[in-house]
Amino acid sequence: MSEGIVLHSLAALAYALLALGLWRSLAKGQNTLKMGMAGRAGLLGALALHGAALYQTVLPPNGLYLGWALALSAAIWLGMLIFWLESFVINIDGLLLILLPASVIATVLAAIYPWGHLVAHASSELLRVHLLIALMAYGLVTVAALQAILMAMLHGYLHRPVEQVEKSSLVAHALDCMPPLLVQERLLFRLIWISFIALTLTLITGSMVSLSLLGVLVPFDHKTIFTVLSWLTFAALLIGRYARGWRGRQALRWTLAGFAFVVLSYTGSRFVIDVILQRG
């Protein structure tokens, strides 16, 4: 556990240094943000530290250890890994202005609150596959939610009166460096599609695990209920997108609602148990 705390702290420091570098470039008046090869190598190093921290903490010998902060950390790591791969296809480096601070927060929380619980039946290969898919879905939805928040900020900024825009701040300058809204919207719905598929696989594998270990096809618990609500929310959003052309604020609200259900399905309840009630 102590190795995981140290590695999470080092990952937080690496993310913070990368974020500081980007924000300093922005403060100097740089109009575009590109990480370059050195920046990409630094981000890969931070991801490697973060991944090692999760491996040390979440995968003890012959077991599986999870808590609310560790689940959040794993979700952010998977989301950042997907971003890193996506950035080779499309220039979305400006999104790091919000993704890197989110990564700092997640890794710091995992270092401060490393507690959790050993997962029952961790030797089951099917359960491990289910948890991996569930964390992947969680990570994708988290990144989609962060991007939805960023798009909402950019949408509001673009619709401000000209007099206010001229009084630019560092945040306004950061929004100017973001990818165009249409590019972000395409990326957002690509993430939502992949998230929806991952959530579907989460429900399917979850039912298989429940049937195998408990003899119940669909367990009636808060995790299942909130995961199904999240799946229904994203299904409605995708149907609305292609049947009625939903976009803009309407799409952003549905994305954030789906994210809220995903958070409540695991992290929210574990936060109450591990931190507020202090009985992990």
pLDDT, tens only, 113-148: 887 777 766 667 788 788 888 888 887 888 888 888
Written as six digits, the tokens of 263 are 């958070």
Place of tokens 């408990």: 214
More confident residue, 68 or 121: 68
Q: How confident is the model at residue 10 (pLDDT cuts 50, 70, 90)?
A: very high
Give the per-residue pLDDT at 111: 92
**How far apart are the C-alpha atoms of 172 and 158, rounded to whole Å?**
10
Q: What is the pLDDT of residue 53?
A: 93
Residue 231: which pLDDT band, with cuts at 50, 70 and 90? very high
Instruction: Tell me which of 37-51, 146-160, 226-240 is least confident.
Output: 146-160
φ/ψ of residue 65, rounded to 5:
-120, 125
Choice between 29 and 232, residue whose per-residue pLDDT is larger = 232
Q: What are the boundaries of each domain within the chain? A: 2-276
CA pair distance 68, 268, nearest whole angstrom = 7
Mean pLDDT of 264-271: 62
For position 168, what pLDDT does the model report? 52
Which has the higher per-residue pLDDT, 211 or 60? 211
Looking at residue 242, what is its pLDDT? 87
Would you state the pLDDT for residue 106?
92
Give the Cα separation of 208 and 200 in Å (integer). Answer: 13
Average pLDDT over residues 40-62: 88
pLDDT at 280: 43
Mean pLDDT to the nearest integer, 234-258: 88
% of the chain residues with pLDDT over 70: 81
For residues 280 and 67, the answer to whether their CB atoms sit within 8 Å is yes
For residue 154, give the amino acid letter: L
Least confident of 197-201, 206-210, 220-224: 220-224
pLDDT band at 267 (very low <50, low <70, confident <90, very high): low
